Structure 1
């Protein structure tokens, strides 16, 4: 159980990337009061939690309704996470986030950034949705599922803390240290993504072999 919790925690941390969300949030809420920043941070995390919880609980049924096998989703999700990892290593994801944030800042009528772009797609984006579905699919029994959900909620709480403390955190870390951390996390995510693909391929071949016999 401890191994599963640590693995899930690491996966959600590198995909959601609380330290990476913090500077974007700080820039988006530069003109807001302290109370407004806290309020939007809480709203963003609560909405993200709701989105991820829905996919955690009914994601597999949704795939079944669409005629998509869980193994196919594992492979596709693993490939997608691997691409995110490449972006992290080469700092492309940070650039895209900054570009998206700049577009929001250039739109005067947009004030509340809690739903877009913070909750979706920065926190509850394709990577985190794929991760929660993959980890829930690999869980055996209610206890393991609760461990995965506990890891997800832990990272969301950490994300909330990072958003609230975004300004001071950025001054503390600095751009260079943040870049190093992001690249290291990208390498870790690449390894986890590769494991998802291997699991999906292995299960697919096992199922195909069993069907032939």
Structure 2
């Protein structure tokens, strides 16, 4: 249980990447009052939590409906997480996120930035959803571990909410160098976790075919 808990915390912390969301949140809420920013932050966090909880609970059933085996998804998910780690280490992910945020502002005229781009895809994006499916698959139907996963997910979304509410002082505190160092460190950790997902997927696939 301790191994699962630590793996879930690190995986979700890295894929959600709360520190990197702070400057993006400030950019997409530019011109808003403190109260308006607070409402946007709470709504975005709730939407992201609902989406991620859905994939944790119904992800396995969705895969079966699509005819995709869990080992295959573990391998694909591991590759996807590794690519995200690669982007983080080589400073490509933040640029992509900022481009995505700017596009959303232009096209939607800030009508509903809590849902898009904050909740989707900046928080509950492909990487986070993949991580939820992979972590849910590792519970193997254990309701205690599934409950633990949902609690960890809520806690990590809570961290994102705190970052949103404290975005301005956090951005100033970390500075450019701090953001770069933290992003690269988290990227290396995520790469190691992605490789572990690949190993688990390959082992499970051999067990199914054997």
The residue that corresponds to 1:139 in the other structure is 139
Structure 1 residue 107: deviation in Å? Answer: 4.5
- The 8 Å contact of residues 16 and 128 in structure 1, kept in 2 or not, is answered as yes
Root-mean-square deviation (CA, aligned residues, Å) is 1.2
**Is the 8 Å Cα contact of residues 81 and 189 (structure 1) preserved in structure 2?**
yes
Tell me the equivalent position of 1:81: 81
* Separation in 1, partners of 2:73, 2:153: 20
Describe the superposition over 1:59-114 as per-residue Cα deviations: whole angstroms up to 9, x where unpaired: 10011011100100000000000000000000101001111222234457324310
CA distance in 2, matches of 1:147, 1:2: 11
TM-score by length of 1: 0.95
Provide the residue aligned with 2:12 in structure 1.
12
Q: Deviations over 1:33-75 (max 9, x none)?
A: 1011000000000000000111111110011011100100000
Matches for 1:1-213 after TM superposition, within 5 Å? 1-107=1-107, 109-140=109-140, 141-209=142-210
Which segment is superposed worse, 95-104 or 164-173? 95-104
5+ residue gaps, structure 1 = none
The answer to whether the 8 Å contact 1:75/1:197 transfers is yes
Indicate if the aligned counterparts of 1:8 and 1:135 stay in contact, CA closer than 8 A: yes
2-structure distance, mates of 1:109, 1:99 = 15
Alignment partners' CA distance in 1, 2:168 and 2:107: 22
| Runs of 4+ with deviation above 6 angstroms | none
What SS does the aligned partner of 1:174 have?
helix
Partners in 2 of 1:81 and 1:108 — Cα distance? 29
Q: Deviations for 1:95-145, whole angstroms, at most 9, x for unmatched residues? A: 011112222344573243100000000000011111111111101411111
Between the aligned partners of 2:127 and 2:101, the Cα distance in structure 1 is 19
